Amino acid sequence: MLRISERETEEVIRIRTARGRELVSTPEHIHFAGYRPEVSPDSSRRNIVVTLCADRRGATPMHLIAVRGNDEKGAEIIRGLGLRVRPAHANSPRSWRYETVFKDMATLMQTATRLATP
């Protein structure tokens, strides 16, 4: 994560999940819901994608963090952080991904920071 910004606004969007939880965001941020990263064949750009409440273990919501790539150098950097890199697609040996879930948002953000500044 490169930047966190805060501002006060009266306009909010409220989303109620199937389990009754409420997510509150601003109109300019709600468009990220359902975002799926795409990796072009020659891209060196990395997107760290964080999805809140992406899964659950019993009653515990789990937050997902994911990074994808298609170069061995990027995969080695992530392995060097002690994180597990897996193939992104069965039919694409170059493509890789790192994905995991956390129940604790602070731990997820520490991982995101490590991924952003190797």
pTM, 2 dp: 0.64
CA–CA separation, 47 and 39 (whole Å): 9
What is the structure's pLDDT at 45?
67
Domain span at residue 59 reads: 34-116
pLDDT at residue number 102 = 94
Per the domain annotation, does 89 fall within a domain?
A: yes
Specify burial of residue 74 (Cβ count, 10 A radius: 0-12, 13-18, 19+).
buried
pLDDT by residue for the chain (118 residues), tens only, comes to 555 556 665 677 777 777 777 777 766 655 555 555 555 555 666 788 888 888 888 888 999 999 998 888 989 999 999 999 999 888 877 889 999 999 998 999 999 999 988 6
Indicate whether 53 belongs to any domain. yes
The Cα–Cα gap between 50 and 20 comes to 21
Q: 17 lies in a domain?
A: no
